[in-house]
Structure 1
């Protein structure tokens, strides 16, 4: 168990916000978690689980014990005629994991390329992009209960996946409720990639790439390259400009609500959903309110994509939160829609 005091957290959050952890413990396996829970100075302390830091906004130093998940490992568990099951350590970089599966000859995750963060954070957020969500490829995960020390396994149903949602984002309202927010530290994640592989090309950006390339039957690697190119053109590299990717969830409304908005703003970007609701593009809503390129202090709205908030250099978590709230107010006042942030404010 590796323990650090007054550890700088700026390298561990993609917004690049300056903050410190009073105590940071590097978790490289279940044994480290058990050692923490058995330690008289740590077992009763509040704990904060940190993966790649791509979905958090730090508003100050963290007093809770920071458990930095660094569990590594990549292996093929099963390669059958109908599917392939691959297991990753929770501390593996997600994009690197996607690249590795393709290098091994297994398609299925290519639409999720270049999403920042770690593998362990993927089920928490139920990450998704270009027509695929993690739940579409998820098999199971192993985790440790930080209250009891018990190790357990969850399948997709038990994870209660929703749009950018899972059981790991909810605290139990009653003892009988199954909420695991802040309680479960994920150690390993397994994905099941179906055979035969089929491309998922429903999104407009991918359709455009398909038309431009003249390729009739793209490979998984070709789609991976397209997704990387699309995301790189729209989204800033966190290593260059601090950000947490898409800051707000795309809201869903009824068809009646959508028609009402279209009557006032015919150009609104919207997508009909299988359940009869309509998903609206949060970035379009924000842009329509005039926020693209605007700033509050050193926190700003990215010039190329209004859905992304960025650190223009030395931004504080407070500035990011203030900007986000101002955007929420503008969108609500104009469209009557409440935008929900994706990142967790710490």
Structure 2
């Protein structure tokens, strides 16, 4: 178990916000967690699990004990006639893992290319893009209870996936005792650390298209039946054209969730705003493009201090250089107020404010 004091976190959060961890433990195996729990002083401390830092806004130094997830490893668990099961350590870089699956000849994750962060964060956030979400390819995961040290396995139903949501984003009940190796209650935020994630890649492979940007790429290339690698390259090109590279301009990707409304609400909004971008959903609701709502309120390119709205995509908030977490939060709240006052819709942030 490697323990470090007063660790700068600027390189560990994609917003590039300056902050420190009072104490940081590098978790490279479940043995590291067990060693931590055997230390009475550290075991009793509040804990903050940190993966790739691509979905957080740091508003100051982190007082809880930071558990930096660095569990690595990739392997094929099973290659059957109906699906291939692939496993990766929670600390693996997500995009490189997606690339690796294609290199091994196992397609299915190509629509999720270039999403920042780690493999372990993918089920926490139920990451999704261009018609595919983690839950569509998820098999199971192994996690460790930070109170008891017990390792447990969750399937998709137990992860309670929702739109950019899962059991890992909700706090456990105060009386949530461990039961059968798994913490009782639905909330696992701050209670569990994901070690490994397994994905089920179905056979035969079928391309997931349908999104306008992908259809445009297919038309430009003159390709009727694209390969997984072509879709991977198209997604990378689309995302690179819309979203800034966090290594160049700090950001956390899409900052707000796309809100859903009833068909009646959508009809009412269209009557006032005919150009609003919206998508009918399978459950009968209608998803609205949060970026369009923010742009319509005139926020694209605007700033609060050193935090700003990206010029090419209003859904992305950026660090223009030296932004604090407070400036990011202030900007986000101002945007929420504008959208609510104009459209009567409350935007929900994706990142976790720490």
CA distance in 1, matches of 2:90, 2:185: 25
Check if 1:308 corresponds to 2:316.
yes
Matches within 5 A, 1:84-99: 84-99=84-99
Give SS of 1:42's match: helix
Residue in 2 aligned with 1:178?
186
Give SS of 2:317's match: strand
Aligned residues: 346
1:253 is matched with which residue: 257, 261, 272? 261
Matches within 5 A, 1:226-305: 226-305=234-313
Q: Map Cα deviations across residues 117-161 of structure 1 (whole Å, 9 max, x no partner).
A: 000000000000000000000000000001111110000000000
Residue in 1 aligned with 2:179?
none
Residue in 2 aligned with 1:12?
12
Matches within 5 A, 1:73-152: 73-152=73-152
User: What is the TM-score of this pair, normalised by structure 1?
Assistant: 0.99
- Structure 2 runs not aligned, ≥5 long: 176-183
- Structure 1 runs not aligned, ≥5 long: none
CA distance in 2, matches of 1:291, 1:312: 15
CA distance in 2, matches of 1:319, 1:85: 43
Residue in 2 aligned with 1:222?
230
Residue in 2 aligned with 1:60?
60
Question: Contact conserved, 2:172 with 2:191, CA < 8 A, in 1?
Answer: no
Aligned residues: CA RMSD: 0.7
Deviation at 1:173, TM superposition (A): 4.1
Deviates more, 1:313-322 or 1:207-216: 207-216
Matches within 5 A, 1:158-197: 158-173=158-173, 175=175, 177-197=185-205
Check if 1:326 corresponds to 2:334.
yes
Deviation at 1:174, TM superposition (A): 6.1
Residue in 1 aligned with 2:178?
none
Give SS of 1:98's match: helix
CA distance in 2, matches of 1:209, 1:187: 36
CA distance in 2, matches of 1:306, 1:214: 30
